Amino acid sequence: MTEVLKKLPQTKHPDLLVGFNKADDAAVFRISENQALVQTVDFFPPIVDDPYDFGRIAAANALSDVFAMGGRPLTALNIVGFPVGEMAPDILTEILRGGSEKIEEAGAFIVGGHSIKDKELKYGVAVTGLINPARILTNAGAQPGDILFLTKPLGTGLITTAIKKNAVDGDPVNAAIAQMTALNSKAAELMLSHDAHAATDITGYGLLGHAYEIACASDVTIRVFPNRLPLLQQALELAIPEMVPGGGRNNRDYLDGKVHFTDKTDERYRIVLFDPQTSGGLLIAVPEDRAGGFQRALRDNGLPDRQIGQVEPRNEYPIMVA
Amino acid sequence: MTEVLKKLPQTKHPDLLVGFNKADDAAVFRISENQALVQTVDFFPPIVDDPYDFGRIAAANALSDVFAMGGRPLTALNIVGFPVGEMAPDILTEILRGGSEKIEEAGAFIVGGHSIKDKELKYGVAVTGLINPARILTNAGAQPGDILFLTKPLGTGLITTAIKKNAVDGDPVNAAIAQMTALNSKAAELMLSHDAHAATDITGYGLLGHAYEIACASDVTIRVFPNRLPLLQQALELAIPEMVPGGGRNNRDYLDGKVHFTDKTDERYRIVLFDPQTSGGLLIAVPEDRAGGFQRALRDNGLPDRQIGQVEPRNEYPIMVA
């Protein structure tokens, strides 16, 4: 799809501070000297069985793009494709209830939406937030010496694939859902108050795919310590070829030659590093002298607090693992 | 669908000046004393054969919601469902080219979007505009004595159904496409400069459905003169039961008992009055003393200029025809 969109002339305007030609999470459009809109849209078919959970995940996932840039979500429009007549209307009610709950938790408001009769169920939201144009966090801005943090455990692609294959149940599923429905709001607040240099949220391209975007935009090398990564329960056990979703294979192909693994990197960790995430955490580059305080703040808020990597001067590889 | 959405708790907030609990075209959310966001989203499967035309129509249709309230479109997010692998990628390129062209013509900017692999092709946009909170035009506000204008000819539902049934070709199709791709920007500008009391854009509920919303919100009766309506070429000829789309039947059922027809109202005109429109014109209520000037301004800009109805004190019927 990206390929098709690339053929279009890119929008250029002095007020379009962050556009969709960059690989950033959301677009930023200035509307006054100290106010800009930060906007994104995302929707997809169900990845979990429960419609209420699906609604919460889809909304948290879309909101995350706004948080990742340091924005404050303000309004949301529901986007619905529903198999009218084939599926009980209560299912849609539950999806929308889940979505609304997360929008509200984010301090934003559902102001409208559009629903269409569709063969396949899908749901998502278009989110608009406000942001201070002087304080936008993007993929660019990471500096050698910065410490990297990841605010949610990895493995949602593997777990949701395993759900579809009935290969996982119970606690690991609940834990994955809890993570996917969690907002990145607190992590975003903390990264702003600790003067982070760069941030992105981890979604379909996986940890390494999004790290690669930071590496390119910031012209640095990202070094990742796989043994320090926060992981979902059962993620390593499910990190086997049968559970790798299509996106995981695409990510690995795409990054071929761009990542340097030490020989010691276990295959299971490699799978996790390429695993596409839904509603993943924020990958945040914090200046070294703020890292300690940031780490404590993450811990105090119950968020993963390990230093999962560091930013180095650009070398032959954009990404180094271990 | 509307029924499902009604079950949800309605968002209430002092800054949500126009919400989706009202039947208005777009939501309005105040972000400062003299600035508010006006937001809407719309997408649907192709209604014409040419992908470029489809893109232009879908974008013009979504933009219309912002114009109808007196807003100025600012940003747009593309929403795409595409049968990847089954349809040539060039088709999507053409759709997006058409959409971009209309967004640009409206003075707005495509800032991003989301595309998903889908069984059925669909396209649309989420549009955000800016509006002065003191100058919002809604369904409410029409006053007895106001004169009604309709800024595009009716009949797009009949024509697009006839296209699908291969019952029409050539000029009438081209004329319908020209109308559906035309922006309501000029009409919106003129209604603001002539102090219109109320406005809405005519879409799926047809002329009478949207007139009914004005009648309810403004607590008035709307009288429509069918013989003064601007009509698309071939619209009357195609106003036969075989060409009435499902939406046209739904509109007629919904308004049963709410519309008083004189016995003289020809069945073909009745069909046209209920015909669901795509990217229809604005229905505008202008104070009587401004109607002459407004009419001249419409004419000078090549827009339909006939007085198609008037606003009366509320009587037994919300809508009177002739």
Residue pLDDT, tens place only, A113-127: 999 999 999 999 999
Minimum CA–CA partner of B35 in chain A: A31
Minimum CA–CA partner of B78 in chain A: A41
Mean pLDDT of A311-319: 97
Phi, psi for B284 (deg, rounded to 5): -125, 130
Minimum CA–CA partner of A103 in chain B: B11
User: Nearest CA to CA, how far is B97 from chain A (Å)?
Assistant: 7
Mean pLDDT of chain A: 94
* B127 DSSP β-pair partners: B40, B76
Residue A42: pLDDT band with limits 50, 70, 90 = very high
Higher-pLDDT residue of A5 and A231 is A231
Q: In the prediction, which pLDDT does B1 show?
A: 46
Residue pLDDT, tens place only, A253-269: 999 999 999 888 999 99
Q: In the prediction, which pLDDT does A295 show?
A: 98
| Contact predicate A57/A278, CB 8 Å | yes
| Chain A positions in Cβ-Cβ contact with residue B120 (cut-off 8 Å) | 118-119
Instruction: Find the Cα–Cα–Cα–Cα dihedral B137, B142, B147, B148, rounded to 10°.
Output: 60
| Chain A positions in Cβ-Cβ contact with residue B52 (cut-off 8 Å) | none
Mean pLDDT of A155-159: 97
Check pLDDT > 70 for residue A21: no
Q: In the prediction, which pLDDT does A1 show?
A: 46
User: Nearest CA to CA, how far is B111 from chain A (Å)?
Assistant: 6
Q: In the prediction, which pLDDT does B264 show?
A: 87
Mean pLDDT of A287-304: 98
Mark yes or no for CB contact B93/A8 under 8 Å. Answer: yes
d(CA A121, CA A135): 37
Task: Tell me the two tokens of residue B21.
Answer: 């609990």
Task: Read off the pTM.
Answer: 0.93
Mean pLDDT of A284-303: 98
- The identity of residue A131, as a single letter, is I
Phi, psi for A260 (deg, rounded to 5): -105, 115
Q: What is A138-321's CATH number?
A: 3.90.650.10
**What is the domain partition of chain A in residue ranges?**
2-134, 138-321
Mark yes or no for CB contact B114/A13 under 8 Å. Answer: no
Residue pLDDT, tens place only, B125-150: 999 999 999 999 999 999 999 999 99
Q: In the prediction, which pLDDT does B13 show?
A: 87
Phi, psi for A32 (deg, rounded to 5): -160, 180
Task: Tell me the two tokens of residue B244.
Answer: 């009435």
Check pLDDT > 50 for residue A82: yes
Mean pLDDT for each 10-residue chunk of chain B (322 residues)? 54 84 77 94 95 98 96 96 95 96 96 93 97 94 98 98 95 97 98 97 96 96 97 97 96 97 92 97 98 98 97 98 92
In 3D, which of B209, B175, B177, B208 has the Cα closest to residue B278? B177
d(CA B111, CA B95): 16
Q: In the prediction, which pLDDT does A12 show?
A: 82
What are the helix (H) ranges across chain A?
2-6, 51-68, 89-105, 156-164, 171-181, 185-193, 206-218, 246-254, 267-274, 288-300
Q: What is A2-134's CATH number?
A: 3.30.1330.10
| Chain A positions in Cβ-Cβ contact with residue B93 (cut-off 8 Å) | 4, 7-8
Mark yes or no for CB contact B41/A112 under 8 Å. Answer: yes
